[in-house]
Amino acid sequence: MTRVAMGEPPKPPAQPVPLPADEVHLWYLFTDEVTEGSLLAAYATWLTDEERARHDRYLFEHSRHEYLLTRALVRSTLSRYAPVAPAAWRFRANDYGRPEIDDPRYRHLRFNLSNTRGLVACVVAVEREVGVDVEDTTRTGETVSIADGFFSRAEVEALRACPPEGRRSRFFDYWTLKEAYIKARGMGLSLPLDQFSFLLDPGAPIRIAFGPQITDDPATWQFAQLVLPPRPPGSPPGGSRHRTAVAVRRSPGEEVSFKLWPTVPLRDEPQRGTSPP
């Protein structure tokens, strides 16, 4: 059984948050809750020139807001684990475009980001491949009908076998898990989505199976579907409108635990870290 716990209150700024090798930490914020002009102005000072230019290219205000909070979250989160100021972090992209820490002193910190309307999440681990995906299940547009083009045959058959009222929910189970896995691998859509399948048996751990085009060991992966409290404004009664999945590489038989923290950068902890990039 995957262990999931809400984290204890963050340590004072002078003390890095402990990150044991057998833990994965997930920090998240609901974007509608962050509206203070002073906070947003402070986050803007953390952006590089490239990030600021990308921020300004977004046409819609909600997209600019979401992007700014995504950058603020990853910078402030990493600064909880290393003596680096949020503005001082520098990143590079791997061969497939996944961002990674550029400073060799801190490359043991592995992270991944995901954002959707209303929610941003950052997952952190030590020397492990890790990926996260979040989705807004109330979004408009096609969902179940696109499974034929992106899911494996086994997943499509399992989805079609669900009662009609449960298919949309199960679609997001598969979608977030598949996204989390390819993000953890850091290879993007060079991994064909129809060449791996998730097995979602009631009461059993989430399992993955691979087709002939993917070389990987199912026993080295652990997955979790997480509920991120508190429930954001506008969620339907009875549960969050967001779906969250995490994928983490582990040794066969090893059990990784998950800790979750809601956060608003600077509001819940003063800025820390002073070292240059």
Residue 35 has pLDDT above 70, yes or no: yes
Mean per-residue pLDDT, 223-252: 80
Higher-confidence residue of 272 and 67: namely 67
Q: What percent of the chain has pLDDT over 90?
A: 75
Exposed/middle/buried for residue 265 (C-beta within 10 Å: 0-12, 13-18, 19+): buried
Give DSSP secondary structure letters for 220-252: GEEEEEE--SSPPTTPPTTS-SEEEEEEEE--T
- Residue with the larger pLDDT of the pair 236 and 74: 74
So what's the pLDDT on residue 237? 47
For 176-209, the pLDDT digits (tens) are 999 999 999 998 888 999 999 999 998 899 999 9
Is 277's pLDDT higher than 50? Answer: no
Higher-pLDDT residue of 238, 45: 45
Share of the chain above pLDDT 70, in %: 88
Q: How does pLDDT run across 79-88, given as a tens digit for each residue?
A: 999 999 999 9
pLDDT score for 141: 79
Contacts of 98 (CB under 8 A, 6+ apart): 112, 183, 186, 188
| Of 117, 140, 112, the residue nearest 60 (C-alpha) | 117
Kindly state the average pLDDT of the residues 221-242: 74
Segment 199-221 shows an average pLDDT of 94
The pLDDT value recorded for residue 145 is 85
Q: 250-275 pLDDT, tens per residue?
A: 999 999 999 999 999 998 764 443 33
| Least confident piece of the model among 19-28, 49-58, 202-211, 226-235 | 226-235
pLDDT tens string 99-127 = 999 999 999 999 999 999 999 999 999 99
What is the band of 163 on the pLDDT scale with cuts at 50, 70, 90? very high
pLDDT given at position 189: 81
Q: What number is the average pLDDT over the span 121-143?
A: 93
Residue type, 175: W
In whole numbers, what is the pLDDT of the chain averaged over residues? 89
Residue 213 tokens read as: 């085009």
Mean pLDDT in residue range 34-41: 96
Mean pLDDT of 131-150: 89
| Of 75 and 145, the one with more pLDDT | 75
**Distances, alpha carbon 75 to alpha carbons 81, 197, 209, 258, in Å:** 11, 33, 34, 20
